[in-house]
Amino acid sequence: MLSKSHPRYESLVLRDKIVKASKAGYLADSAMIAHGRGEAFDYLLGEKTTLPAKRAMYVTVAIMLLSKNPVISVNGNTVALAIDEIIEFAREIDAKIEINLFYRTDDRVNKIAKLFYDRDYPEILGTNNDEMMHINEIKNPRASASKNGIYSADTVLVPLEDGDRAEILSRSGKNTITIDLNPLSRTSKMSDVSIVDNLVRAIPFMTKIARDLKLQDEELLREIIEEFDNDINLKESLELFKIKEEVK
């Protein structure tokens, strides 16, 4: 039992989720390494949502609200850390959710799909029953996507995406939005909007933003998007990675 008084309580809760998901058999073998890398970046960021991250999130929500077919991509880590928050966000902005695994196996897909069915979310895409296509006809498993989901999407939000897939998505002309704690990753550099934040903070924050932006004029949403420059924002995100404490 984790004690709430532990100074690293929140971080330990996330580790526990990853460990349980790993035991349940739906995480990639390297999922813990990916999580650990994320933890290290988050530590250096002060485990707080930064101003550039918030800016990128407003732009993300504006783009998704204006999109015809926005899709949120989920992998093992994302499901382990934030499945309920993802469903809530998808419902708030009327987006689809697609299982999109870098290390895809039928068993992992079935296990993840069941987690969505158990939460009364039968419309989950990317399952083994789904019609899968190849983005831009690239015959590479990294380009596979559900016909009604990522394949035909105009906007794709991909937390923790691999660089190859981010590149394929970005080249396909889709609005590619990523959540990645590493501002130097190929994924962050390839994307149209890069949210440098922990997805466990970013997703619920965007649900709140959506509740506000849904009430605003489309013109305001377009202004938010037009004023945004991802390269500048990414540089600002990077500058916030510094050691703020002195060693005694």
The single residue among 10, 22, 102, 171 that binds ligand PTJ, judged by CB under 6 A, is 102
41 belongs to the binding site for ligand PTJ (CB under 6 A): yes
Q: Which of 92, 180, 192, 236 binds ligand PTJ (CB under 6 A)?
A: 180
Distance CA 155, CA 150 (A): 8
Binder of ligand PTJ out of 30, 128, 136, 216 (CB under 6 A): 30
Q: Determine whether the annotation assigns residue 187 to a binding site.
A: yes
Name the minimum Å distance from CB 125 to ligand PTJ: 15
Judged by CB under 6 A, how many residues of this single chain contact ligand PTJ? 25
Collapsing DSSP to helix, strand or coil, 97 comes out as strand
Q: Please, what is the Cα angle at 81 between 14 and 105, to 5 degrees? A: 125
Consult the annotation and say whether 182 binds a ligand. yes
41 and 70 in contact (C-beta within 8 Å)?
no
Q: Which is nearer to ligand PTJ, 75 or 176 (CB)?
A: 75
Kindly state whether residue 34 participates in binding ligand PTJ, applying the rule CB under 6 A: yes
65-89 residues labelled b (16+ CB within 10 A) or e (exposed): bbbebbbbbbbbbbbbbbbebbbeb
Q: Which of 63, 168, 177, 199 binds ligand PTJ (CB under 6 A)?
A: 199
d(CA 66, CA 107): 35
Residue showing tokens 């382990």:
80
Structure tokens at 92: 């708030």
Measured distance CA(144)–CA(156) in Å, rounded: 14
Q: Which of 50, 67, 75, 148 binds ligand PTJ (CB under 6 A)?
A: 75
Site for ligand PTJ in 136-165 (CB under 6 A): 160, 162
Per CB under 6 A, which region of 24-32, 48-56, 127-135, 221-229 contacts ligand PTJ? 24-32
Residue 17 vs residues 27, 33, 107, 191, 222: alpha-carbon distances, Å: 11, 14, 19, 28, 38
Q: Is 83 in the site for ligand PTJ (CB under 6 A)?
A: no
User: Which tokens hold the place of 214?
Assistant: 């849904």
Give contact residues for ligand PTJ (rule: CB under 6 A).
28, 30-31, 34-35, 37-38, 41, 75-77, 81, 101-103, 160, 162, 179-182, 185, 198-200
Q: Which residues are annotated as a binding site?
A: 15, 37, 180-182, 186-187, 198-199
